[in-house]
Chain A
Amino acid sequence: MAGVLVKGRFPRRRLIQTVAANLARYLFNGAARSWARNVGSTAPALGSMTLLLVMSGLVGLTGFALHNLEQIEAGQASLLHVYLRDNAEAADILSLENRLTSDPRVAGVTYTTKAEALQRAQHIPGLPQLADASESNPFPASLDVQVKSIDQVAAVDASVRNDLAVDQLYPTSYDRGAYQRIQAVLLGAAVAGIAFLGLLAFVAVTVTMNSIKIAIHSRRDEITIMQLVGAPRWMVRGPFVVEGAITGALAGTVAGAVTFGLAFTGISAASGTFTQFAPGITTTVAAIAAASVVLVGLGLGSGSSLISLRRHMET
């Protein structure tokens, strides 16, 4: 026997290392070098994107706070106080309470006595003076009805207004349109915020696309050579996408830090007041907003590059 051919194991790990090293070199190292070289033409894109992302972070946090406020308002607006006549019969009150309890639109009914109403009024600014001004208790007993949906409060109000047990002068706490007015204000704020962000996004995307366009034009020869020697499309286009992503990530990191910093300063400086005006904004929420801003920056940068490549790079 002349000998045994020993076939070594296929060096899979080495192959993966080689491919990874080549990918890193052609895709990421090349992009990083090129980004650093063209930082002058990238600066406007970086600035506008940072501004956009800071605004996005702040508008996002404000939107979250407004959403929480709206939830609180909605909870309060769906609580209907049905004021009872001082001389209402117990049977009439019980009958009304039973009718409301069996109403499918109602989540729950609580009876509040005149004494409890007075006690509650003591904690509401302005009302203790009113209570003291009168020798008798001016606050009526009430049935506090928690309606399931805010849209059904009007119908429930209409169904109880003419009941025998209900006070005819001030039948309920229902204020037609109050909640709708709050909603309209919030909707207006949301639309204005989105329009403003849309405008900023348009500017940031356009400026980023232009910076990538400049990079493509300045490296036209290099791109042509790469294409002619058989570089696959992803290898030609990839570095530009990575360049856009670097711009986006950098802008996102700065904007995320600013967003978190402002929110954290607000929370630490005036925690009580801050919670009242911006309910739900905690350090964790601010950190999530900052991380989201970084991710949006990455997406915005690479997305703008992709659009620019589709427009300006020939195959």
Chain B
Amino acid sequence: MRPIVNGLVRPIVEFTAVTRLYGARRALDDVHFALHPGELAFLVGPSGAGKTTLLKLVNREIRPSSGEVCVAGIAAHRLKASRVADLRRKVGVVFQDYKLLPRLTALENVAFGLQVGDLRISDEEARDRSLDALEAVGLGDRGDAFPHQLSGGQQQRVAVARAVVAQPQLLIADEPTGNLDLETAWEIMDLFEDIAAWGTAVLVATHNVEIVTRLQRRVLTLVQGRLVRDQPAGQTGRMAWLASS
């Protein structure tokens, strides 16, 4: 369901004049953009362009040096450390290296993502919902497997299931296909398209030119911390070269 205010769809992510400094270096410089529910956007640019910094700002791992960051209605730029968990429960995160807990099975990893956010969820409910999520990513039969028993693609699917099991309003992914072969990468991208189709905003930082070019989704291009191009869906062919590092 899209959050609507005064007849307008409210953005899930909104950056206003955001600058982030690391010492004297400007990792992000006066960035403005908004991402709406159901939108799948790619964040591209050469290494060091500020893609990861932008995602960290969205997830409130860091604060902006100036400007405003609003995520799911929360002012992340002035959010206290003690309230960060509230924001993160509205944001699903997928990493290049999966970041699964090695001592938990696939099912437990997904259930963990659900129960840490809400202790009122019983084991039965967590198990049922986690199984649903695993089935949705095509791993309904591997719930009892530990991460080391799964392939890279399967681990990334588990990570996607964990990221979406609590039905977040936003999913961010930092190089989610970086460790995967092209075929598996396409499977992950299919999942992201399905997730966006159900109303979740999806923001994917990637170097994968082929995926960006062929999916024809919105592309945000960062170069040296500046958002130099914001191309709407369907107009992404000419800039694909910028995605290569």
Q: Do A and B make up one complex?
A: yes
Give me the interface of A with B, judged by CB distance under 8 Å: 14-15, 18-19, 21-23, 26, 221-222, 224-233, 235, 315
Option from A18, A221, A224, A226 in Cβ contact (under 8 Å) with B116: A226
Chain A residues whose CB sits within 8 angstroms of the CB of B162 once the complex forms:
229
Q: How far is the CA of A22 from the CA of B87 in the complex (A)?
A: 21
Known interface pairs A222-B101, A224-B99, A228-B59; A315-B84 also in contact (CB < 8 Å):
yes
Residue B115 at the A interface, CB < 8 A? Answer: yes
Option from B100, B113, B119 in Cβ contact (under 8 Å) with A19: B119
Residue B89 at the A interface, CB < 8 A? Answer: yes
Q: Range of interface residues on chain B? A: 20 to 34
Residue B186 at the A interface, CB < 8 A? Answer: no
Give me the interface of B with A, judged by CB distance under 8 Å: 59, 61, 81-82, 84-89, 91, 93, 99-101, 112-113, 115-117, 119-123, 162, 166
Q: How far is the CA of A233 from the CA of B87 in the complex (A)?
A: 13
Chain A residues whose CB sits within 8 angstroms of the CB of B123 once the complex forms:
18, 21
Chain B residues whose CB sits within 8 angstroms of the CB of A232 once the complex forms:
85, 116
Contact, CB under 8 Å: B85 / A230: yes
A11 to chain B, nearest CB (A): 10
For A232, give the chain B residue with the smallest CB separation.
Answer: B85
Chain A residues whose CB sits within 8 angstroms of the CB of B89 once the complex forms:
230
Contact, CB under 8 Å: A229 / B122: no
Contact, CB under 8 Å: B121 / A229: no
Q: How far is the CA of A232 from the CA of B82 in the complex (A)?
A: 8
Option from A14, A19, A26, A233 in Cβ contact (under 8 Å) with B85: A233
Q: List 30 A-B contacts (CB under 8 A).
A: A18-B119, A18-B122, A18-B123, A19-B119, A22-B119, A23-B119, A222-B101, A224-B99, A225-B100, A225-B101, A226-B116, A227-B88, A228-B61, A228-B88, A228-B99, A229-B112, A229-B116, A230-B85, A230-B86, A230-B87, A230-B88, A230-B89, A230-B113, A230-B116, A230-B117, A231-B85, A232-B85, A232-B116, A233-B81, A233-B85
A20 to chain B, nearest CB (A): 9
Chain B residues whose CB sits within 8 angstroms of the CB of A235 once the complex forms:
116
Q: How far is the CA of A221 from the CA of B86 in the complex (A)?
A: 21
Contact, CB under 8 Å: B120 / A225: no
Contact, CB under 8 Å: B120 / A15: yes
Contact, CB under 8 Å: A22 / B117: no
B172 to chain A, nearest CB (A): 10
For B98, give the chain A residue with the smallest CB separation.
Answer: A225
Q: How far is the CA of A26 from the CA of B123 in the complex (A)?
A: 12
Chain A residues whose CB sits within 8 angstroms of the CB of B117 once the complex forms:
229-231
Chain B residues whose CB sits within 8 angstroms of the CB of A221 once the complex forms:
99
Chain A residues whose CB sits within 8 angstroms of the CB of B81 once the complex forms:
233, 315
Chain A residues whose CB sits within 8 angstroms of the CB of B84 once the complex forms:
227, 315
For B60, give the chain A residue with the smallest CB separation.
Answer: A315
A27 to chain B, nearest CB (A): 10
Q: How far is the CA of A14 from the CA of B123 in the complex (A)?
A: 12
For A224, give the chain B residue with the smallest CB separation.
Answer: B99
Contact, CB under 8 Å: B120 / A231: no
Contact, CB under 8 Å: A229 / B88: yes
Contact, CB under 8 Å: A225 / B99: yes
Which 4 pairs across A and B sit closest by C-beta, in order of nearness?
A230-B88, A230-B89, A231-B116, A315-B81
Chain B residues whose CB sits within 8 angstroms of the CB of A23 once the complex forms:
119
Chain A residues whose CB sits within 8 angstroms of the CB of B119 once the complex forms:
18-19, 22-23, 26
Q: How far is the CA of A224 from the CA of B89 in the complex (A)?
A: 14
Q: How far is the CA of A224 from the CA of B113 in the complex (A)?
A: 13
Q: Which of B59, B82, B115, B116 has the most CB of A within 10 A?
A: B116
Chain B residues whose CB sits within 8 angstroms of the CB of A14 once the complex forms:
122
Contact, CB under 8 Å: B93 / A228: yes
Q: How far is the CA of A32 from the CA of B119 in the complex (A)?
A: 19
Contact, CB under 8 Å: B93 / A18: no
A193 to chain B, nearest CB (A): 41
Q: How far is the CA of A229 from the CA of B85 in the complex (A)?
A: 8
Option from A15, A26, A229, A233 in Cβ contact (under 8 Å) with B113: A229
